[in-house]
A and B are shown apart, each in its own frame.
Chain A
Amino acid sequence: MMLKSTPLLSAALALALAVPAVSYSQERGVSYKPAPPLPKPVYREQRSSMENKRDLNGVWFIRDYNRRFRTPVDTLPPFTPYGKAEFDKRVKAETDGKPYADASTYCWPHGIPRVMNSPYPIQIIQTPGKITIVHEVAHNIRQIHMDQKMPDKVPTSFLGYSVAHWDGDVLVIETKGTDTRTWIDEEGIIHSDQLYTIERLRKTENGENLENEVTMMDPVFFTRPWVKKINYAWRPDLRISEYVCEENNRNAPQAGVTVAK
């Protein structure tokens, strides 16, 4: 059926578009702001396996780091009232100069998806049945089971329990069981023990970019699934350095509050 454009219809459409709750399917299709430019490709001679889209081995460095997680249309996540209140509490505490301590403040592993959004290099190592990600930040080691089903019950851990499979040339990683002491971002988006994340990783830009589309589901904190995209540049010129959070921790918390040294 064809609809004639009428001023009334246009007004109704404009109103509908003005409603901030963008649907999940719309959100996934939205094109993101382009990531910052790739570093100069001076490593071309090392591109032995870049044609293989299922070879993610190597060192990658985030291109579009932002401590805040937002949806593709730059809005806050679709919070439940409880989720919004918990977020507001944390933002206010930080504004007041008494930020809540999160897992990273205690030098604990950073949680999923948080650890995938750090301004430090990561090294992906693919071995049979397994993908390992060595993160420079706080020496996080993430382990991902390949081609296994997500068990009905998973043990709780800081980095959760991850299973992955290939969907064409997209690596799909599912994670559950992430410790509720971790946060989703650094600003104050937190989660319950029902957090379920699906990451879709694929090489783009001739293999020099790794795109990670993260979908987050948690009925306690969000009214619907929502997505955030993170891009990493291929950086064979970088190596993982030693990162020691535990020595002279600058932000060691006291009674749950971060204290600057």
Chain B
Amino acid sequence: MKHFLLAAAACAVTLSVPTFAADPSFSGFWKLEGDFATLKTIDGKIPPMNPEARKRYNASVALRKQGKPVPTDTVQKCWPHGLPRLLLAPYPIEVLQDAKQITFLHEAHHMPRLVYLGEKLPALDTLDNNYMGFSVGNWDKDTLVIDTAGFNDITTLDKAGIPHSEALVLQERVRLTDNGQTLEDVITVTDPETFTKPWKARISFKKMPNDYWLKEMVCTDKNPDAA
């Protein structure tokens, strides 16, 4: 009996990984559905760029059409994708979740993205300008609302080359659909220096088998996106 109790105690310790029944669990492996090299609005349009941004976008698209390297493409140089471009990379994502933090581990460039739960986004002028910005998440019923800001202006929102400024703010509404087999992410893009109005895009991820294991993808060793 004593041994049994000890074994039970040992098991309890081993299994004491926090789980929170109240919030849906996004834990597991996910892979983007569809091709989002060119990100469009929910109704299938090119985002509402101002004339200056549109000029930069068109130049990038033209270079790509000719198969030429795009000097403004940071991913060709193995620099981080930024957002939402990292979400659009066709490689698996692992989600680790607890009550305080949701961690997205991207196989692409082995990039982590840490989302702090239950916090407010600090004022834009207090944030550093990073590739991946700073993300906070809050539950709105079964939807996780992720707010991200504090970006640098050297990444593009997609591979085609939608530019943005440091004023970029993203709001993602992430929820499970399709009986938990799909993770839907509706992204609202706000950047008054680049777009004439906020716009929305919708992407989704398909659940992968739980026994997947993230591969070690090292861009500076083998860059799949090299021009």
Contacts and interface: CB of A to CB of B under 8 A. Distances in A.
A132 B105 contact: yes
Contacts of A246: 77-80, 219-220
A54 B14 contact: yes
Centre residue among A141, A145, A158, A240 by max chain B CB count within 10 A: A141
A127 interface: yes
B112 interface: yes
B15 A128 contact: yes
Contact of A109 (B112, B128, B218): B218
Given A54-B13, A127-B27, A141-B214, 8 more contacts: A107-B78, A134-B114, A143-B213, A159-B216, A239-B114, A242-B80, A244-B80, A244-B131
Majority DSSP secondary structure for residues of B touching A: loop
B185 to A, nearest CB: 21
Contacts of A258: none
B17 A139 contact: no
A106 B105 contact: no
Interface string A220-259: 0000000000000000000110101111000000000000
Contact of B132 (A127, A141, A242): A242
Interface residues of A, number: 31
B66 interface: no
A126 interface: yes
Given A141-B105, A242-B131, A106 B216 contact: no
B112 A240 contact: yes
Nearest to A132: B96
Given A139-B112, A246-B77, A158 B16 contact: no
Interface of B: 13-17, 27, 74, 77-80, 96, 98, 103, 105, 109-112, 114, 116, 128, 130-132, 213-214, 216, 218-221
A128 B221 CA distance: 31
A157 interface: yes
B130 A242 contact: yes
A140 interface: yes
Contacts of A55: 16
B216 A158 contact: yes
A107 B80 CA distance: 12
Contacts of B13: 52, 54
15 contacts: A54-B14, A108-B218, A108-B221, A125-B96, A126-B17, A127-B27, A128-B15, A132-B105, A140-B110, A141-B105, A143-B213, A158-B218, A242-B128, A244-B79, A246-B78
A132 B128 CA distance: 26
Contacts of B98: 57
A55 B12 CA distance: 12
Contacts of B214: 141, 143
A158 B14 CA distance: 29
Interface in A115-169: 123, 125-128, 132, 134, 139-141, 143, 145, 157-159, 166
B216 A109 contact: yes
Contacts of A109: 110, 216, 218
Interface string A46-59: 00000010110100
A138 B111 CA distance: 9
A132 B17 CA distance: 13
A139 B114 contact: no
B65 to A, nearest CB: 27
Contacts of A140: 110
Nearest to A247: B79
Contact of A139 (B15, B27, B111): B111
B76 to A, nearest CB: 11
Contacts of B111: 139
Nearest to A157: B216
Contacts of A125: 96, 103
Contacts of B220: 106-108, 245-246
A157 B222 CA distance: 13
